Every structure is written in C-alpha cells, then in structure tokens.
Amino acid sequence: MYNAFWNHLKEQLLSTPPDFTCALELLKDVKENRLRNEIEEALDTDLLKQEAEHGALDVPHLSNYILNLMTLLCAPVRDEAIQKLEAITDPVQLLRGIFRVLGLMKMDMVNYTIQSFRPYLQEHSIQYEQAKFQELLDKQPSLLDYTTKWLTKAATDITTPCPSSPESPSSSRSVACSLPNGAGNNSEPPSPTMVLYQGYLNLLLWDPENEEFPETLLMDRTRLQEMAFQLHQLTVLASVLLVARSFSGEILFSSSEFVDRLKCITKALTEEFISRPEETMLSVSEQVSQEIHQGLKDMGLTTLSSENTASLLGQLQNITKKENCIRSIVDQRILFLKCCLLHGMQESLLHFPGGLILIERELAELGWKFLNLMHHNQQVFGPYYAEILKNIIHPAQAQETDVEHN
C-alpha cells in the first residue's frame, strides 16, 4: 500500500494536465514538520525544567502558547472547546481540559487520514482481489461454474412470466415479480445490470444448505447470511408493529419511546424465530399485548377489551403462517433494497415504502451494508460477470458496460 501511494503520485504528476492533489498534501506535511520543530524549540523540556527550578517559569504564557497552538492545528469543530479552556484559571483543570481536547484532536487527525487514504486503499484492494482471483482461475478453469449457475438462475427469474397464483414469500420468483423491469412483463431481454442485481437479491433468500454458492462471493457468504437473518427479523418486526398499531391507535404509536421499547422487546424475543416460530410468536404476542395495555393505561386511554385482546393475540401468532400479510412486507423490503442498488440510498429513502415506515432506520442501516458490499463485489468481479452474461443474455444486450462501471 505504501508503494501504491507513491506510484499513484507519479501517475498524477505525469498525467495531462498534471494532477497536484497528492503533491499538495505532501507539501502540507512538510509545513507541519517545520511547525513541529518550532514546537520542540518552544517546549524544550530541559529549558522549562531549569526555569521551574529557578522560579522563572511563566505558566500563563506557556498555557497561552499551547492554546494558541491548538487553535492553529485543530479542526473548526474544536474551536469552541478551546475557547472554553481559555477561561479556566485553575492549572489542574486547565491541564485536564487540554489533554481531553488533544485526545479529540488526535481522533480528528486519524479520521482525516483514513478518509484521505480510503480511495487509494479501495483502488488497491480491487486490483489485488482481481489479480488473486485470476491466479486461481488460471489454475482452476471451473472456478466460475457456480457463479454461472447463479446468474443463469437470476436471468430466468426475471424473464419467466409471473404466475397468476401467489408463491411463497421466500421465493426468488415472487421477489422478481414484485420488482420493476422484472418477471418477463415485456418482450425485451433484461439488461446485464438487472440480472446481476436480481442475483444479489437472491443471495438474501439463499438456502443455507445449498453448497453451490457463487465463487465470486464466497468471502462474503457469512456477512450475507447475517444480512439475510436481519432481513427476516425485520419482516417479523414490521409485521408485529403493524398489527400492534392497528389495535393501539396512532396516539400510542406517536410516542417514539413506546415504539422503541416495543422494537427492543420484539427483537430480543425473535432471535430464535426461524427454529421455533410458534413458540416465539406466542411469547411475542403476550409481551406486546401487555405493553399495549400498559401504554394505553399510562396515557389515560381506554384499554383493549377482552375481545380485542384475543384478536390481537391471534393476529400476532398468525404471523408465522405463509399466507399472512408478511408477503407484502417481504415484497416491499426487497423492493427497497433493489431501489438502493438501482438508484442509491438517498433517492430510495425519498420513496420509502409506507408499510415499512416503522422500521425505516433499521432497514436503511441494513441497506447501506448491503449496498456497500455489493458495490465492492461489482467493482472487483464486474469483468467476469460481463463475460458470463454474454452467453446468457441476447448479445446485443450483453454489450452494456454498466455491469462493470455502474
């Protein structure tokens, strides 16, 4: 990485016109080194020790010098903190405050350095991963067999006409039919990008027992499985909240404290939903019912009648059934992630599905993770995907280059 930085600097200076971005950063480092020498002269510990021994140490002057220096070096966000230090007269409190702010300034510098080098590190990482994968592919030509099957399945999901009868919410066909430009609703072949994105979404519905996982994503399999679990948990959470809101009304759900508490309880109780769905939802329904009863009571509102309580418990426990309204939640959450891939997170949040508004923060956080992971994978393996898709999609469509660069 160290050599990569200097090679990058050389490329910038030899470009037409020359790019002096890195060079200016280095000049800035030179300036800081000069400043370091000045600081060492002003804060010569041996000299300060002698002055202290002879009672000639000017503490206020020294403090002012340090604070002025901190003002010169700190980020603008720390100016207010340093101004407050200038008003402190107690030497112990002043030193304590100085070291606290210096700690913050150190973290500011670390974050700035990471931010500055991130583009170079990412570029180097992509090149390194491509080179290593190509070495493996040269030794093992069949290394892309599972990747080819994965993309072929994604293309089939998009081009096969949607069935008239509903499928299981976990079906990739159901997901494709709920997405724009999918499911064979037009005669035009799908674009390589749409096929690739359908493939990415299918990974979130991947059967854990299926060993034919795409070779190009093996390093990310564990993280994808964690995301799939989170997505499933968010489905249950959204369904619980929607049912609970329909019984408790908007007044109770206007309390962010109540909603957050309900989320926390539901998340904790649904950790084992996949292995024990009925038992899990029995516990969830009882706890949620109690929270709604207490919440209505605390607000001075009419609590649920025995009949409504029984209906609430029943609807919450029915969330385990495939024909439950979870299907619409599944479609909306996958659609949101598809929009993130196609249009980016910011635009997708502007058109966030109304049925999922109660889990917007959680789904957006998951969306960022998924988007970043898939974007990096696309940058690394885009050329391989493009070659595979040429043999899957109509040649005219496969000439698109957005699989590599989108």
Q: What is the pLDDT of residues 344-371, one digit of tens each?
A: 888 888 888 877 888 889 999 999 999 9
The residue type found at 329 is I
**pLDDT band of 186, cuts 50, 70, 90:** low
Cα-based angle 293, 297, 300 (whole degrees, multiple of 5): 145
Number of domains in the chain: 2
In a shared domain, residues 293 and 206 = yes
Cα dihedral 318, 370, 362, 211 sign: positive
CA 292 to each of CA 21, 245, 286, 317: distance values in angstroms, whole numbers, following the listed order? 58, 9, 10, 16
Could you tell me if residue 118 is inside a domain?
Answer: no
Could you tell me if residue 227 is inside a domain?
Answer: yes
**What is the reported pLDDT for 182?**
46
In a shared domain, residues 78 and 154 = no
Could you tell me if residue 122 is inside a domain?
Answer: no
Q: Are 332 and 356 in contact (CB under 8 A)?
A: yes
In a shared domain, residues 64 and 153 = no
In a shared domain, residues 203 and 326 = yes
The first and second tokens of residue 265, run together, are 């309880």
CA–CA dist 199, 224 (Å, integer): 13
Q: Which residues contact 2 (CB under 8 A, 6 or more apart)?
A: none
Could you tell me if residue 129 is inside a domain?
Answer: no
Could you tell me if residue 199 is inside a domain?
Answer: yes
Could you tell me if residue 198 is inside a domain?
Answer: yes
In a shared domain, residues 64 and 195 = no
Whether 1 has a pLDDT exceeding 60, the answer reads no
Query: What is the mean predicted confidence (pLDDT) over 43-72?
Result: 80
| pTM for this predicted structure | 0.65
In a shared domain, residues 65 and 201 = no
In a shared domain, residues 152 and 89 = no
Query: What is the mean predicted confidence (pLDDT) over 329-355?
Result: 82
Whether 176 has a pLDDT exceeding 70, the answer reads no
In a shared domain, residues 387 and 297 = yes
- pLDDT over 70, % of the chain: 82
CA 82 to each of CA 40, 76, 105, 212, 305: distance values in angstroms, whole numbers, following the listed order? 21, 10, 11, 59, 60
Cα dihedral 190, 193, 198, 203 sign: positive
Query: What is the mean predicted confidence (pLDDT) over 242-253?
Result: 87
The first and second tokens of residue 229, run together, are 């679990």
In a shared domain, residues 377 and 290 = yes
* Tens-place pLDDT, residues 63-81: 888 888 888 878 888 888 8
In a shared domain, residues 152 and 30 = no
Q: Which residues contact 166 (CB under 8 A, 6 or more apart)?
A: 174, 327
Domain of residue 365: give its range.
144-159+190-393
In a shared domain, residues 266 and 327 = yes
* HSE toward the beta carbon, residue 170, CA cutoff 13 A: 13
